[in-house]
Structure 1
Amino acid sequence: MESFDELVVQYQPMIQKIIRSLHIYKNKHEFYQTGLIALWEAARSFDERKGSFSNYAYTSIKGKMLSEMTQINHYKEKNILPKEEEFWEDVEGQESPLFLEKETIQTYCEGLTKKEAQWVIETFINQLSIKEIAKSEKVTVSAVKQWKLGAIKKLKGIAANHH
């Protein structure tokens, strides 16, 4: 088998293609490194009697990237991160959301459209997911996501004006 440097040159396009096929836009460099590690591990453990190396490398690289994605998502689910967008995504998925009274939450809804306010109330009081809200309102998931984005943008503006 070729040297590892030669394998890197040969399989670099495959690693990039797998990154694109998995729709990885954040942390591309880290996932590229994960791909190189998987290629190295595949080169060390490959058994020629079991098929072609390119198929084995592809499966190994993609599998390691999927495993990494699962670990990252699992970590995000268990930890509330301080960035605003991630905060809102995480709060939405918590079993015990912020314990604010309905009236308090409704005061935050002043200045929001009816649909944006509905997203806030359904999410934080009724603990519904975006899919559940879409189903109950008979609209698309992307429509509810638009309500969410509008509400978050306006709520950030309100918060910024209070500081």
Structure 2
Amino acid sequence: MIDAKNKAIVLSPEQSFEEVLELVQPMITAILLKCNVYKNYDYYRQVAAIAVWEAWQKANPTKGKFSSYIYTTVRGRILNELSSEQRYQSSYTLMEDETLNVLLTRGESIVVEDCSELVEMLFEFLSKEEVELLQLLYVDGYSYIEIAQQFSISVEAIKKRRMRLMTKIRSFS
């Protein structure tokens, strides 16, 4: 509903959900921009729509403005989702390099004598610790946290070693 006198949008829990969702679209866009959401934009819009629905269902007009409640609910849900995604990305790594696909097809353990010429040359190019890190990350599927515990170093150190290793492998090919 639009207040003609102030030309402002007025939200109330008595409105239909579809109407409320339509009216809060600019608010959702502003929240997404404020939270620096540029990837998976449609996904976060859906997260926001679900948050609006939850706020619409739980709204209590005696406890404050409905629009404020929607804003805090949507913003909180998006921030929680961003935090969850960040935790996942910091714990797990994704396959980034085509060369490493060879390692995945090798089975449970890496045996240099059975590998293709490229992988054999790669193993000669890498140290024993680098080969072990490759195997733990891409063949065995360990997370950064698990590898850090195994090497008795920090997760950030494992990430730095992985980045140096990737740079080294890229320079090899």
User: Which of 5, 30, 34 pairs up with 2:42?
Assistant: 30
User: Which of 73, 77, 93 pairs up with 1:59?
Assistant: 73
Q: Secondary structure at the match of 2:125?
A: coil
User: Which of 131, 147, 150 pairs up with 1:133?
Assistant: 147
- Give per-residue Cα distances to partners, 1:72-119, cap 9 Å, x unaligned: x99xxxxxxxxxx83249xxxxxx985164223773332224543231
TM-score by length of 1: 0.52
Q: Which residue of 2 aligns with 1:86?
A: 94
User: Which of 13, 16, 21 pairs up with 2:33?
Assistant: 16
Structure 2 gaps of 5+ residues are: 2-8, 11-19, 98-103
**Does 1:102 find its partner at 2:115?**
no
Query: What is the rounded CA distance, in whole Å, between the counterparts of 2:110 and 2:147 in structure 1?
Result: 18
CA distance 1:110–1:66, change in 2 (3 Å): same
TM-score by length of 2: 0.50
Query: What is the rounded CA distance, in whole Å, between the counterparts of 1:51 and 1:38 in structure 2?
Result: 21
Q: Which residue of 1 aligns with 2:6?
A: none
- Give per-residue Cα distances to partners, 1:29-84, cap 9 Å, x unaligned: 4356447645864786544235332123321453267569979x99xxxxxxxxxx
RMSD over aligned CA atoms reads 4.5
Q: CA deviation at 1:146?
A: 1.7
CA distance 1:10–1:87, change in 2 (3 Å): closer
Query: What is the rounded CA distance, in whole Å, between the counterparts of 2:164 and 2:42 in structure 1?
Result: 32
Query: What is the rounded CA distance, in whole Å, between the counterparts of 1:127 and 1:140 in structure 2?
Result: 18
Q: Secondary structure at the match of 1:145?
A: helix
**Does 1:152 find its partner at 2:166?**
yes
Query: What is the rounded CA distance, in whole Å, between the counterparts of 2:109 and 2:156 in structure 1?
Result: 28
Whether contact under 8 Å (2:144, 2:155) holds in the other structure is: yes
Query: What is the rounded CA distance, in whole Å, between the counterparts of 1:130 and 1:40 in structure 2?
Result: 35
AA partner of residue 152 (structure 2): K
CA distance 1:100–1:43, change in 2 (3 Å): closer
Structure 1 gaps of 5+ residues are: 75-84, 90-95
Whether contact under 8 Å (1:115, 1:147) holds in the other structure is: no
Query: What is the rounded CA distance, in whole Å, between the counterparts of 1:67 and 1:122 in structure 2?
Result: 28
Query: What is the rounded CA distance, in whole Å, between the counterparts of 1:115 and 1:101 in structure 2?
Result: 15
Q: Which has the higher contact order (CA 8 A, sep 6+)?
A: 2
